[in-house]
């Protein structure tokens, strides 16, 4: 699936706006024929999570089905062509009807899906689009559900949140990324795959593409541009196996966080000499590898400085906002970060595109967060693989994506199960699945303190990623001691696995305006001092490859006495204003630890 593009052969109409909605707590929508339209409860802004928008009608903590509807007309330009409906994301799963006819469904909250609606939509009258979104999770879904019985089984009833979630971010629901109508000619490109290689000063781009539709007389032209200058052109006759080829670039300008240079590839499809499809792609030529104790970008060691983030903002929830994307990148540049992790799910494609352009490195994660192996089934594994496959297909062409993260912190409940043979087999399958799909990037899995050095995934990871909260959840208030224990633990981990170590999370909650002259949790000073201590320890060890502060900004979580509405570990608050730590980190990353 390709990101939508408007050009001579492709047309995109954005259906964002005010849609009508109706909650379906009793699961009666189908019975009452809502697929043919319903009397609505309220309007909802799309894209956007329903929760904060519609809190006043009781939907803040709603888990279940919500029906959405809107109408659209098929533009004349679509006539006689293929029409598709593309949903940027629907959290967690969605079923779609056009004019009362089933168009398709999708499972997974953070990835786009496309449905062929050519035969369902009418060209001459208004069309009714109905989408039923359900944010209910199960033991088979990724992420997994958690129940009151689970907490009971582990004697951890006090850890229960409202709504019940196995993870520390709010369970937003809805259509959170834009919905678009697309039109293509019958013969059109479906998918493009780019791989790049670095050889001394030269670069190589390998491309592959699949297409739909057939023709006896079709051919593809693929050209490569460096700015406005065409530096390569290939002509390929279409055959069943798709389109393949390579470009060599001598004296190549490689993509990096310091110089995010993008070449441009242009695909054109001709049928009997007539242009029927085209697609433009920005390509960064770069190579990422793990070697010894280093992470190498284009052969040079790189140290990751940055954050775990969230898609989260007041009112929008996880709804896509272009200004917010820009603001976050501005702040990352301002503070001297070179990277972030899409904790704990795939972010909007627009974010990854901006990372390519601005030179920010991305660790791309799927929402396999806090897997509880007591409840993991073969269906969980299958859903996990499906999600990885959709993510890799979506993001593999982005130079900014330097690593796949296959989940986060298995075993928050069920530490014993998370280090069992069952877990080991599970991770062995997941890691090889990813490597079969893409062998050009490292693969990792951030692990929690509870599993210590026993996490079975460490064996399979290209580098060991650890989330550590010494000085916060462990040994609170004692920064020196936290630092000493962290150092000893990282050294022991390296001794055991002999792989580079990435500290993928560390931090402290800070409430703006709380101050103390002594180490006191929740003050801005404590957050600052703890982060500085972690920097000191991590950077003193020769086998570390990065430090990601948790979190970039404060974010909403489910309700629990441990959280003051938000998780306050942000270095920026939820409105993106800096806390005291931001200035110290900036000084450190831009002057003291410049890499």
Catalytic residue positions, numbered: 409, 505
Of the two residues 276 and 369, which places its CB atom closer to ligand BDP in the complex?
Answer: 369
Of the two residues 24 and 409, which places its CB atom closer to ligand BDP in the complex?
Answer: 409
The mark string for 429-458 relative to ligand BDP (x by CB under 6 A, - otherwise) is: -------------------x----------
Shortest Cβ distance from residue 569 to ligand BDP (Å)?
Answer: 5
Give yes or no for residue 408 binding ligand BDP (CB under 6 A).
yes
CA quadruple 303, 308, 312, 318: dihedral sign:
positive
How is residue 338 written in tokens?
């070179």
The mark string for 138-177 relative to ligand BDP (x by CB under 6 A, - otherwise) is: ------------------------------x---------
Using alpha carbons, select from 293, 195, 253 the residue that is nearest to residue 541.
293
**DSSP for 464-523?**
EEEE--BTTTBSTT-HHHHHHHHHHHHHHHHHHH-S-EEEEE----B-TT---SS--TBS
Using alpha carbons, select from 298, 545, 337 the residue that is nearest to residue 440.
298
Shortest Cβ distance from residue 551 to ligand BDP (Å)?
Answer: 7
How is residue 591 written in tokens?
């002057």
Of the two residues 463 and 550, which places its CB atom closer to ligand BDP in the complex?
Answer: 550
Give yes or no for residue 409 binding ligand BDP (CB under 6 A).
yes
State CA 546 to chain mean position distance.
19
The 10 Å Cβ neighbour count of residue 102 is 12
The 10 Å Cβ neighbour count of residue 473 is 12
How is residue 525 written in tokens?
């000073």
Instruction: Give me the half-sphere count of Cα atoms (radius 13 Å) on the Cβ side of residue 469.
Output: 15
Give yes or no for residue 505 binding ligand BDP (CB under 6 A).
yes
Of the two residues 321 and 467, which places its CB atom closer to ligand BDP in the complex?
Answer: 467
Among 567, 570, 571, 572, binds ligand BDP (CB under 6 A): 567
Shortest Cβ distance from residue 288 to ligand BDP (Å)?
Answer: 24
Give yes or no for residue 70 binding ligand BDP (CB under 6 A).
no
Give yes or no for residue 527 binding ligand BDP (CB under 6 A).
no
CA distances from 449 to 166, 469, 494, 499 (A): 16, 8, 15, 18
Give yes or no for residue 415 binding ligand BDP (CB under 6 A).
no
Q: What is the CA radius of gyration of the chain?
A: 24
Q: Pick out residues in 297-336 that bind ligand BDP (CB under 6 A).
A: none
- Residues with Cβ within 8 Å of residue 93, at least 6 apart in sequence: 105, 106, 107, 108, 109, 133, 134
Q: Pick out residues in 531-550 that bind ligand BDP (CB under 6 A).
A: 550
Number of residues engaging ligand BDP in binding (CB under 6 A): 10
Give yes or no for residue 467 binding ligand BDP (CB under 6 A).
yes
Instruction: Give me the half-sphere count of Cα atoms (radius 13 Å) on the Cβ side of residue 52.
Output: 18
Shortest Cβ distance from residue 487 to ligand BDP (Å)?
Answer: 20
Residues near ligand BDP, by CB under 6 A: 168, 344, 408-409, 448, 467, 505, 550, 567, 569
């Amino acid at each position: 699936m390709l990101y939508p593009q408007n050009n001579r052969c492709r047309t995109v109409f954005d259906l964002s706006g005010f849609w009508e909605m109706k909650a379906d707590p009793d699961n009666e929508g189908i019975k009452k024929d809502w697929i043919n339209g319903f009397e609505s409860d309220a309007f909802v802004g799309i894209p956007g999570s329903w929760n904060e928008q519609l809190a006043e009608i009781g939907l803040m903590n709603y888990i279940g089905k919500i029906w959405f509807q809107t109408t659209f007309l098929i533009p004349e330009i679509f006539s006689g062509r293929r029409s598709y409906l593309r949903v940027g994301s629907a959290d967690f799963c969605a079923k779609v009807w056009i004019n009362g006819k089933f168009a398709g469904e999708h499972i997974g909250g953070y990835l786009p899906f496309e449905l062929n609606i050519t035969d369902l939509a009418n060209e001459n009258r208004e069309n009714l689009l109905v989408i039923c979104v359900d944010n209910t999770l199960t033991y088979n879904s990724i992420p997994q559900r958690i129940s009151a019985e689970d907490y009971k089984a582990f004697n951890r009833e006090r850890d229960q949140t409202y709504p019940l979630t196995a993870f520390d971010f709010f369970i937003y629901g809805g259509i959170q990324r834009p919905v678009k109508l697309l039109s293509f000619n019958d013969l059109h490109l479906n998918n493009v795959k780019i791989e790049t290689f670095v050889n001394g000063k030269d670069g190589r781009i390998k491309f592959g593409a699949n297409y739909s539709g057939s023709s006896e007389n079709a051919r593809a032209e693929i050209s490569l541009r460096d700015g406005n200058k065409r530096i390569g052109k290939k002509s390929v006759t279409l055959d069943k196996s798709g389109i393949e080829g390579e470009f060599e670039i001598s004296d190549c300008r490689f993509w990096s966080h310091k110089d995010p240079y993008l070449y441009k590839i242009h695909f054109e499809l001709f049928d009997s000499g007539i242009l029927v499809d085209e697609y433009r792609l920005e390509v960064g030529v770069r190579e990422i590898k793990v070697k010894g104790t280093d992470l190498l970008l284009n052969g040079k060691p790189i140290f990751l400085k940055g954050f775990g983030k969230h898609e989260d903002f007041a009112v929008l929830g996880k709804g896509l906002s272009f200004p917010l994307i820009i603001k976050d990148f501005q702040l990352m540049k301002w503070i001297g970060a070179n990277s972030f992790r899409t904790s704990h799910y795939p972010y909007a494609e627009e974010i990854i595109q901006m990372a390519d352009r601005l030179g920010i490195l991305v660790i791309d994660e799927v929402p396999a967060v806090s897997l509880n192996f007591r409840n993991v089934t073969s269906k969980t594994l299958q859903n996990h693989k499906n999600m990885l496959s959709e993510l890799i297909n979506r993001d593999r062409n982005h130079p900014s994506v330097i690593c796949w993260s296959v989940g986060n912190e298995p075993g928050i409940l069920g530490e014993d199960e998370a280090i069992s043979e069952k877990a080991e087999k599970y991770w062995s399958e997941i890691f090889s699945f990813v490597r079969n799909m893409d062998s050009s990037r490292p693969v990792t899995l951030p692990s929690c303190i509870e599993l210590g050095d026993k996490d079975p995934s460490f064996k399979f990871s290209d580098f060991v990623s650890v989330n550590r909260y010494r000085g916060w959840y462990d040994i609170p208030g004692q920064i020196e001691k936290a630092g000493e224990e962290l150092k000893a633990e990282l050294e022991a981990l390296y001794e055991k696995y002999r792989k580079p170590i990435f500290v993928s999370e560390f931090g402290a909650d800070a409430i703006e305006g709380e101050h103390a002259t002594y180490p006191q949790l929740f003050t801005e000073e404590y957050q600052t001092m703890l982060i500085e201590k972690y920097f000191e320890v991590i950077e003193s060890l020769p086998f570390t490859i990065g430090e990601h502060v948790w979190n970039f900004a404060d974010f909403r979580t489910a309700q629990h006495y441990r959280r003051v509405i938000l998780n306050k570990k942000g270095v920026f608050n939820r409105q993106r204003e800096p806390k005291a730590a931001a200035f110290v980190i900036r000084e450190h990353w831009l002057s003291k630890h410049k890499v």
